[in-house]
Protein backbone atom coordinates (compact mmCIF):
# COMPACT_ATOMS: atom_id res chain seq x y z
CA UNK A 1 0.00 0.00 0.00
CA UNK A 2 1.21 3.55 -0.71
CA UNK A 3 0.99 5.63 2.44
CA UNK A 4 -2.76 5.48 2.36
CA UNK A 5 -4.64 8.12 4.25
CA UNK A 6 -8.38 7.55 4.03
CA UNK A 7 -10.67 10.18 5.47
CA UNK A 8 -14.10 8.67 5.69
CA UNK A 9 -15.75 10.33 8.68
CA UNK A 10 -16.31 13.82 9.99
CA UNK A 11 -15.16 15.58 6.85
CA UNK A 12 -17.30 18.59 7.62
CA UNK A 13 -17.57 20.90 4.66
CA UNK A 14 -16.57 18.27 2.09
CA UNK A 15 -19.23 15.90 3.35
CA UNK A 16 -21.85 18.64 3.44
CA UNK A 17 -20.99 19.84 -0.05
CA UNK A 18 -21.13 16.39 -1.55
CA UNK A 19 -24.23 15.34 0.46
CA UNK A 20 -23.19 11.75 0.34
CA UNK A 21 -23.58 10.45 3.86
CA UNK A 22 -25.88 10.99 6.77
CA UNK A 23 -28.52 12.87 4.77
CA UNK A 24 -29.38 10.29 2.15
CA UNK A 25 -33.00 9.55 3.12
CA UNK A 26 -34.41 12.93 1.92
CA UNK A 27 -32.41 12.66 -1.31
CA UNK A 28 -33.60 9.16 -2.04
CA UNK A 29 -37.22 10.02 -1.20
CA UNK A 30 -37.06 12.96 -3.60
CA UNK A 31 -35.37 10.93 -6.32
CA UNK A 32 -38.12 8.30 -6.13
CA UNK A 33 -40.62 10.89 -7.38
CA UNK A 34 -38.47 12.06 -10.27
CA UNK A 35 -37.74 10.56 -13.66
CA UNK A 36 -34.37 8.82 -13.72
CA UNK A 37 -31.47 10.77 -15.16
CA UNK A 38 -30.40 9.73 -18.66
CA UNK A 39 -27.45 7.36 -18.61
CA UNK A 40 -24.71 8.57 -20.94
CA UNK A 41 -20.96 8.69 -21.33
CA UNK A 42 -18.89 6.99 -18.66
CA UNK A 43 -22.05 6.14 -16.74
CA UNK A 44 -23.39 4.17 -19.69
CA UNK A 45 -20.02 2.50 -20.26
CA UNK A 46 -20.17 0.78 -16.88
CA UNK A 47 -23.94 0.25 -16.54
CA UNK A 48 -25.09 -3.27 -15.69
CA UNK A 49 -28.25 -4.80 -17.14
CA UNK A 50 -30.14 -5.08 -13.84
CA UNK A 51 -30.31 -3.47 -10.45
CA UNK A 52 -29.66 -5.42 -7.25
CA UNK A 53 -32.70 -6.42 -5.18
CA UNK A 54 -31.00 -5.28 -1.97
CA UNK A 55 -28.92 -2.18 -1.13
CA UNK A 56 -25.52 -2.17 -2.81
CA UNK A 57 -23.68 -1.29 0.41
CA UNK A 58 -24.87 -1.54 4.04
CA UNK A 59 -26.67 1.50 5.41
CA UNK A 60 -24.05 1.94 8.12
CA UNK A 61 -21.12 1.81 5.68
CA UNK A 62 -19.35 5.13 5.27
CA UNK A 63 -18.40 5.45 1.63
CA UNK A 64 -14.90 6.89 1.08
CA UNK A 65 -14.97 10.41 -0.32
CA UNK A 66 -11.28 11.25 -0.15
CA UNK A 67 -8.26 8.98 -0.41
CA UNK A 68 -4.76 10.40 -0.59
CA UNK A 69 -1.47 8.70 -1.38
CA UNK A 70 1.94 10.07 -2.25
CA UNK A 71 1.28 9.69 -5.97
CA UNK A 72 -2.42 10.47 -6.38
CA UNK A 73 -5.67 11.26 -4.65
CA UNK A 74 -9.16 9.89 -5.23
CA UNK A 75 -12.38 11.92 -5.07
CA UNK A 76 -15.93 11.26 -6.34
CA UNK A 77 -16.72 12.33 -9.88
CA UNK A 78 -19.08 15.29 -10.08
CA UNK A 79 -19.80 18.55 -11.89
CA UNK A 80 -16.82 20.32 -10.34
CA UNK A 81 -14.55 17.85 -12.16
CA UNK A 82 -16.27 18.04 -15.55
CA UNK A 83 -13.48 19.99 -17.23
CA UNK A 84 -10.54 18.04 -15.88
CA UNK A 85 -12.32 14.75 -16.57
CA UNK A 86 -13.23 15.81 -20.11
CA UNK A 87 -9.64 16.78 -20.83
CA UNK A 88 -8.38 13.41 -19.59
CA UNK A 89 -10.62 11.11 -21.62
CA UNK A 90 -10.60 13.28 -24.74
CA UNK A 91 -6.81 12.97 -24.78
CA UNK A 92 -7.14 9.19 -25.08
CA UNK A 93 -10.19 8.43 -27.24
CA UNK A 94 -8.78 5.54 -29.29
CA UNK A 95 -6.94 4.11 -26.28
CA UNK A 96 -10.08 4.02 -24.13
CA UNK A 97 -12.26 2.62 -26.91
CA UNK A 98 -9.88 -0.34 -27.11
CA UNK A 99 -9.01 -0.85 -23.45
CA UNK A 100 -12.05 0.32 -21.49
CA UNK A 101 -15.36 0.45 -23.33
CA UNK A 102 -14.51 -1.91 -26.23
CA UNK A 103 -16.71 0.26 -28.45
CA UNK A 104 -16.83 3.66 -30.13
CA UNK A 105 -19.79 4.79 -28.01
CA UNK A 106 -17.52 6.44 -25.41
CA UNK A 107 -15.45 8.42 -25.60
CA UNK A 108 -15.81 9.96 -29.07
CA UNK A 109 -14.75 13.22 -30.68
CA UNK A 110 -18.25 14.77 -30.68
CA UNK A 111 -18.81 14.83 -26.91
CA UNK A 112 -19.90 18.35 -25.96
CA UNK A 113 -19.38 20.29 -22.76
CA UNK A 114 -23.08 19.78 -22.02
CA UNK A 115 -22.70 16.02 -22.54
CA UNK A 116 -19.75 15.96 -20.17
CA UNK A 117 -21.66 17.87 -17.51
CA UNK A 118 -24.69 15.57 -17.74
CA UNK A 119 -22.40 12.60 -17.33
CA UNK A 120 -20.90 14.10 -14.19
CA UNK A 121 -24.35 14.90 -12.79
CA UNK A 122 -25.43 11.29 -13.39
CA UNK A 123 -22.36 9.90 -11.63
CA UNK A 124 -22.85 12.28 -8.70
CA UNK A 125 -26.51 11.25 -8.34
CA UNK A 126 -25.60 7.57 -8.34
CA UNK A 127 -22.95 8.19 -5.70
CA UNK A 128 -25.32 10.22 -3.56
CA UNK A 129 -27.98 7.52 -3.80
CA UNK A 130 -25.39 4.81 -3.07
CA UNK A 131 -26.22 2.80 -6.19
CA UNK A 132 -22.69 3.02 -7.65
CA UNK A 133 -19.50 4.93 -6.95
CA UNK A 134 -17.36 6.64 -9.58
CA UNK A 135 -14.04 8.22 -8.64
CA UNK A 136 -11.53 10.47 -10.36
CA UNK A 137 -7.86 9.62 -9.89
CA UNK A 138 -6.13 12.99 -9.66
CA UNK A 139 -2.57 14.15 -9.23
CA UNK A 140 -1.85 15.03 -5.57
CA UNK A 141 -2.49 18.74 -6.26
CA UNK A 142 -5.76 17.95 -8.07
CA UNK A 143 -4.74 19.74 -11.26
CA UNK A 144 -4.87 16.74 -13.59
CA UNK A 145 -6.93 13.57 -13.88
CA UNK A 146 -4.88 10.40 -14.38
CA UNK A 147 -7.88 8.10 -14.74
CA UNK A 148 -11.08 6.86 -13.07
CA UNK A 149 -12.31 3.97 -10.94
CA UNK A 150 -15.91 2.67 -10.88
CA UNK A 151 -17.49 0.49 -8.20
CA UNK A 152 -20.94 -0.87 -9.03
CA UNK A 153 -23.23 -3.83 -8.31
CA UNK A 154 -22.70 -7.19 -9.99
CA UNK A 155 -25.48 -8.99 -11.84
CA UNK A 156 -23.38 -12.15 -11.93
CA UNK A 157 -23.97 -14.56 -9.06
CA UNK A 158 -21.03 -15.05 -6.74
CA UNK A 159 -19.80 -11.45 -6.89
CA UNK A 160 -20.84 -8.58 -4.63
CA UNK A 161 -19.41 -5.82 -6.79
CA UNK A 162 -17.75 -5.06 -10.11
CA UNK A 163 -14.78 -2.72 -10.32
CA UNK A 164 -13.48 -1.19 -13.54
CA UNK A 165 -10.86 1.46 -14.10
CA UNK A 166 -9.08 3.35 -16.84
CA UNK A 167 -6.08 5.64 -17.17
CA UNK A 168 -5.11 8.00 -19.95
CA UNK A 169 -2.86 6.82 -22.78
CA UNK A 170 0.14 8.68 -21.35
CA UNK A 171 -0.42 7.14 -17.92
CA UNK A 172 -0.88 3.70 -19.44
CA UNK A 173 2.40 3.99 -21.36
CA UNK A 174 4.11 5.04 -18.13
CA UNK A 175 2.93 1.88 -16.36
CA UNK A 176 0.35 3.51 -14.11
CA UNK A 177 -2.49 1.23 -15.18
CA UNK A 178 -0.96 -1.86 -13.58
CA UNK A 179 0.11 0.13 -10.52
CA UNK A 180 -3.37 1.58 -10.01
CA UNK A 181 -5.05 -1.80 -10.49
CA UNK A 182 -2.89 -3.40 -7.80
CA UNK A 183 -3.65 -0.52 -5.45
CA UNK A 184 -7.41 -0.67 -6.11
CA UNK A 185 -7.52 -4.41 -5.39
CA UNK A 186 -5.94 -3.73 -2.00
CA UNK A 187 -8.29 -0.81 -1.37
CA UNK A 188 -11.33 -2.98 -2.03
CA UNK A 189 -10.08 -5.61 0.40
CA UNK A 190 -9.20 -3.14 3.13
CA UNK A 191 -11.86 -0.45 3.05
CA UNK A 192 -14.97 -1.84 1.33
CA UNK A 193 -17.59 -4.34 2.61
CA UNK A 194 -17.48 -6.77 -0.31
CA UNK A 195 -16.66 -10.47 0.06
CA UNK A 196 -15.87 -10.98 -3.62
CA UNK A 197 -15.19 -8.38 -6.31
CA UNK A 198 -15.11 -8.96 -10.07
CA UNK A 199 -12.52 -7.20 -12.21
CA UNK A 200 -13.66 -7.79 -15.82
CA UNK A 201 -10.92 -7.57 -18.40
CA UNK A 202 -8.33 -8.09 -15.70
CA UNK A 203 -8.80 -10.90 -13.18
CA UNK A 204 -11.60 -12.24 -15.42
CA UNK A 205 -11.19 -12.23 -19.20
CA UNK A 206 -13.90 -10.42 -21.14
CA UNK A 207 -15.20 -13.52 -22.93
CA UNK A 208 -15.82 -15.30 -19.64
CA UNK A 209 -17.42 -12.26 -18.06
CA UNK A 210 -19.66 -11.50 -21.03
CA UNK A 211 -20.87 -15.11 -21.05
CA UNK A 212 -21.67 -14.94 -17.33
CA UNK A 213 -23.62 -11.70 -17.78
CA UNK A 214 -25.56 -13.17 -20.72
CA UNK A 215 -26.35 -16.33 -18.77
CA UNK A 216 -27.62 -14.26 -15.86
CA UNK A 217 -29.89 -12.26 -18.17
CA UNK A 218 -31.27 -15.46 -19.66
CA UNK A 219 -32.04 -16.87 -16.21
CA UNK A 220 -33.83 -13.70 -15.19
CA UNK A 221 -35.82 -13.64 -18.43
CA UNK A 222 -36.84 -17.27 -17.93
CA UNK A 223 -37.88 -16.58 -14.35
CA UNK A 224 -39.98 -13.60 -15.45
CA UNK A 225 -41.57 -15.73 -18.16
CA UNK A 226 -42.61 -18.36 -15.62
CA UNK A 227 -44.22 -15.68 -13.45
CA UNK A 228 -46.28 -14.45 -16.36
Enumerate the H helices of 39-79 as residue ranges.
Answer: 41-45
- Identify the pLDDT of residue 86: 98
Query: Is this prediction's pTM over 0.75?
Result: yes
Helix (H) or strand (E) holding 74: strand 73-76
d(CA 133, CA 156): 18
Using one digit for the tens of pLDDT, what is the confidence trace for 44-75? 676 554 455 569 999 999 999 999 999 999 99
Query: What is residue 4's three-state secondary structure?
Result: coil
Helix (H) or strand (E) holding 67: strand 67-68
Q: Write the DSSP symbol of residue 204.
A: B
CA distances from 182 to 69, 73, 197 (A): 14, 15, 13
Top-confidence residue, 104 or 52: 104
- Identify the pLDDT of residue 40: 61
Lowest mean pLDDT among 16-30, 127-141, 196-210: 16-30
Cα 106 to the center of its chain, rounded Å: 15
Q: DSSP per residue over 130-199, as a string?
A: TS-EEEEEE-TTSSSEEEEEEEEE--STT-SEEEEEEE-HHHHHTTHHHHHHHHHHHHHHHHS--S-EE-
Averaged pLDDT score across all residues of the chain = 84
For range 80-104, the mean pLDDT: 96
Q: Say how many C-beta atoms besides its own lie within 10 A of residue 167's C-beta.
A: 28
Amino acid sequence: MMGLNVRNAALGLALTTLTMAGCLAPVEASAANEAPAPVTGQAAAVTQEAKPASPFVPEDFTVPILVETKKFKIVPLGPDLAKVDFKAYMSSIEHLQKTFTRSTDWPHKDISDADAMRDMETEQARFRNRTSFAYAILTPDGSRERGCVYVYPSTVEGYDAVVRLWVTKDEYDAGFDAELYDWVVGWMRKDWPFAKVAYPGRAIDWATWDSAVAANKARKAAAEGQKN
